[in-house]
Amino acid sequence: MTLANGRFAQLLNAYWLRPESALFYEACFSALDRAGLGSLTNRGRSLDFHAMDGIPSAIAAGARFPWSFDAFSELGSDGDRLQERQVTARDYYELAGGFGPEHRLPTPLFECGIVFEDHHLVRAESLGAHRRVTLAGATSPLSEFSGEFDLVWAINLYWKEDLGTEARRLRRFLRAGGLVITLLPSSVAVDTGPLAWGIPSGLGALLDRGRSANMQKSVRTLSEARELFSAAGLFLQAVEPFAGSEVRDCYEVGLRPAFPALLAWRRQLMAGTGEDLTVLKSRMVHELEEALIDVVEGDVRSLGKGWQAFILSA
């Protein structure tokens, strides 16, 4: 069977049960394309900061996975526990183990990955997108990495508590002439996102898993972002807004409630007709791509963009 072509198809292949995540990442990576980032390979020593499991970073850097790969391949082996945790867990992936050896990337794409949680370490190490993966404590200075990297890829920066401290840390990682790539939500995402939609708190907790709280702690405007980064010694080379209302509607609310049902769907198919799952999945990915590609491509013209992708230099 052929491989899913293109970056968006690869994201959907990995996140076919969470297509809203694939949509968000593709909108982000497209914004970085527009900002002139170019390829992530051959950029010298590269760091994937707060790498989590490394899947979106790997795909952004050109990794191509087979149809048999997905972000949820290790989920669902313990159904009752999973069902319970779907309601309460902050992160579904806490339940997940590592990826099988058949899905390990043949060549690392980043010199180093820094993760902050044990379950991310297990997954990132087994994925093989990084030559080495380091588990950092929440307040770890990571001083061993000072001045070491030409490229710091930090697309999950917005999950961190203290952006000022983290921005200074990113600056310290850089060699002279190096670049930091990151993204942050803006006031638009906060003011017009789920918090502003009057979603009841119980449902909000199911849909949100902490993102809105993080967004509220973030900067509100481009000038605030510029100030935050320049205080850390990082200077704006390019900024590109992304995630207009269609991407955000779909990401925050539209497709998100479908995840538990789609996960249940996959689990039952695995139990009964597992041998056909890749065929089903490839069709589903194709259908999702047909439905969502115009959302991604239309994002550049969309109004009310709630996020900004930054290319920063020291």
| Identified binder of other proteins from the candidate list 81, 90, 104, 283, rule CB under 8 A | 283
- Least distance from other proteins to the Cβ atom of residue 35, Å: 22
What secondary structure letter does DSSP report for 200?
Answer: -
Cβ distance to other proteins smaller for residue 195 or 234: 195
Dist CA 171 CA 180 (whole Å): 8
280 contributes a contact to other proteins by CB under 8 A: yes
Dist CA 73 CA 97 (whole Å): 9
- Least distance from other proteins to the Cβ atom of residue 260, Å: 4
Dist CA 265 CA 259 (whole Å): 10
Cβ distance to other proteins smaller for residue 213 or 261: 261
What binding mask, one character per residue, do residues 292-311 give for other proteins by CB under 8 A, x or -? xxxx--x--xx---------
Cβ distance to other proteins smaller for residue 22 or 127: 22
- Least distance from other proteins to the Cβ atom of residue 291, Å: 4
- Least distance from other proteins to the Cβ atom of residue 250, Å: 5
| Candidate ranges 138-146, 151-159, 227-235, 242-250; the one touching other proteins (CB under 8 A) | 242-250
Q: Strand, coil or helix: what is 25?
A: helix
Question: Tokens 């039952």 appear where?
Answer: 268
Cβ distance to other proteins smaller for residue 113 or 306: 306
Dist CA 15 CA 95 (whole Å): 16
Contact status, residue 158 vs residue 183, Cβ threshold 8 Å = yes
Question: Tokens 């690869």 appear where?
Answer: 10
What binding mask, one character per residue, do residues 81-100 give for other proteins by CB under 8 A, x or -? --x--xx-------------
Dist CA 261 CA 15 (whole Å): 14
Residues in 169-198 that interact with other proteins by CB under 8 A: 194, 197-198
Q: Strand, coil or helix: what is 35?
A: coil
203 contributes a contact to other proteins by CB under 8 A: yes
Cβ distance to other proteins smaller for residue 161 or 297: 297
- Least distance from other proteins to the Cβ atom of residue 249, Å: 5
- Least distance from other proteins to the Cβ atom of residue 196, Å: 10
Which residue in 298, 206, 204, 198 sits closest to 243, CA to CA? 298
6 contributes a contact to other proteins by CB under 8 A: no
Q: In what order do the strands lie in the sheet with 235-242?
A: 130-135, 110-115, 46-49, 149-154, 174-185, 307-313, 235-242
Q: Residues touching other proteins: how many (CB under 8 A)? A: 48
Q: Strand, coil or helix: what is 14?
A: helix
Question: Tokens 């900004």 appear where?
Answer: 308
Return the structure tokens found at 289: 């791509």
Residues that bind other proteins (CB under 8 A): 83, 86-87, 194, 197-200, 202-203, 206, 245-246, 249-250, 253-265, 267-269, 271-273, 280, 283-284, 287-288, 290-295, 298, 301-302
